[in-house]
Amino acid sequence: MYSFMGGGLFCAGVGNILLVVSTATDYWMQYRHSGNFMHQGLWRYCVPGKCYIHTDSVAYWDATRAFMILSLLACFIGIVIGIMAFTHYSSFNRFDKTFAAGILYFTSCIFVLLAMAIYTGVTVNYYGKRYGNWRFSWSYIIGWVAVVLTFFAGIFYMCAYRMHESPRSPAPR
């Protein structure tokens, strides 16, 4: 049970770090414009030597930002509850902390999956038809890695919950 919880905490911790990096950095997409490489993230777009804040309130950027922030919060709260379950901290006796942490990791996974799907769909549909020389960059890829890690954190915690809920029956005599 503790090995599943440890694996879940490791995946969730790394996933949460990757979510922060992915959300905060400006390399979701790179493109060539007027002979220069430019890049943009959820908050800013950068031309060689200077970055500017996105001033337009584009719906898909707002939705992607919101889902990424919700994913960060769900994963962080899941880590706190997961650590409490790991150390047997018993201030919450009404619910199983292992199950709650697993649900929060799955919720985080769903939120980041929604963010990535929205960004991917709109970007491919818009830039794919208008520009030929663009690509997704490393911040975007880190977001997809965070989807996988938060999913596996949820799986590990649900396995730990199942092991705790159904202890092995003694061998028949």
Arithmetic mean of pLDDT, 161-173: 65
pTM for the whole thing? Answer: 0.86
Query: Which domains are delineated in the chain?
Result: 1-165 (1.20.140.150)
Strands 50-53 and 134-136: unpaired
Q: Find out whether 21 and 139 touch, Cβ atoms under 8 Å.
A: yes
pLDDT at 37: 83
**Lowest-pLDDT range, 64-73, 100-109, 146-155, 158-167?**
158-167
Give the C-alpha separation, 150 to 134, whole Å.
Answer: 28
Per-residue model confidence as pLDDT tens digits over 21-73: 999 999 999 887 777 888 888 999 888 889 999 887 788 889 999 999 999 99
Angle of helix 2-24 versus helix 59-86 axis, rounded to 10: 150
pLDDT at 162: 84
Task: Give pairs for 114-119: CB < 8 Å, separation 24+.
Answer: 114/63, 114/67, 115/63, 115/64, 115/65, 115/66, 115/67, 115/68, 115/71, 115/143, 116/64, 116/140, 116/143, 116/144, 116/147, 118/60, 118/63, 118/64, 118/67, 119/28, 119/60, 119/64
Residues 6+ apart with CB under 8 A from 159: 4
Is 48 in a helix, a strand, or coil?
coil
